[in-house]
Amino acid sequence: MRTLKAILVKEAGFIEAWIKLLSYCIKNESQVIFGDKDNPKRIRGEICSRVILEGKAVEQIINGVSYLSKYKKVFPFGPQFIQHYVDEYSLEYIEKQASLPLGDKQKFTYTYYDRFRRYPTLKGLFDQVEALKNNVGQQIKSGIFSNRHQMITWIPEIDTFSAEPPCLQRVWISLIDKNCIEVHLEWRSRDLYGAWHVNLVAIINMINRDIAIPNNCKIVRVIDSCNSLHIYNGDFEQAKTAVALFN
């Protein structure tokens, strides 16, 4: 039986938020198999999460490569691994991906940055990052708030039947006070132990570089929502160890 408990976490510490989420998933242990019949995936703990990160947590995310590396006992990855995620959000990386032939083992089905920078439309490729940057700039100039400024990843005709559809669905950004912006991330599915933290570091660094800094803005709050935040069966014992070591 699948028991998706809705959990709200509000934290001013990045690593503390992750440990809390791990604890909630561990407490809600229930083995579930999902995916498809050709590639089933087994999870052992799952929640529906909404995480509010503010204060020093935002700075810790932006400085995530060095910050997370301080927690070697509980955090599963080193600085080079985290930096690789950050580097994927560059034009150079998506151009390299596009040049790889179909069937190449290093070629991904999609990358988030490619979907943001080169979203396919009937009129050609659309740069959502550039549009969002300009729209935030217009908010600052006009002083009028807006709920319209977002980026999406889902392409129905491609992703509905794909074996590897995007987990991140939407990024929503709003000016909340003069030169302060708030970032909302919405996910359909998320690997808590192996990806939650590095995803946040890479995406928020991209938004800070491409949208906030060009508009002389500061990210003051990140709200991360996930329909299914889970721990894979193979990572469950390591997750329990991480929580025990941190506490």
Domains identified in the chain and CATH numbers: 53-225 (3.30.572.10)
| 53-112 tens-digit pLDDT | 999 999 999 999 999 999 999 998 999 999 999 999 999 999 998 888 888 888 888 899
Separation CA 228–CA 143 (nearest Å)? 36
Separation CA 85–CA 217 (nearest Å)? 23
Separation CA 42–CA 25 (nearest Å)? 14
Q: How far is CA 181 from the centre of its chain?
A: 17
| 106-153 tens-digit pLDDT | 888 889 999 999 999 999 999 999 999 999 999 999 988 899 999 999
Q: Which residue has the higher pLDDT, 30 or 184?
A: 184
Residue 85's pLDDT is what?
93
pTM above 0.85, yes or no: yes
Q: Which structure tokens are listed for 68?
A: 């997370």
Separation CA 32–CA 230 (nearest Å)? 10
Separation CA 42–CA 239 (nearest Å)? 15
Is it the case that residue 216 has pLDDT exceeding 80? Answer: yes
Name residue 46's amino acid: E
Average pLDDT over residues 209-235: 97
Residue 58's pLDDT is what?
98
Residue 209's pLDDT is what?
98
Residue 32's pLDDT is what?
84
Return the C-alpha torsion angle 89, 154, 99, 124, nearest 10: -110
**How much is the mean pLDDT over the chain?**
94
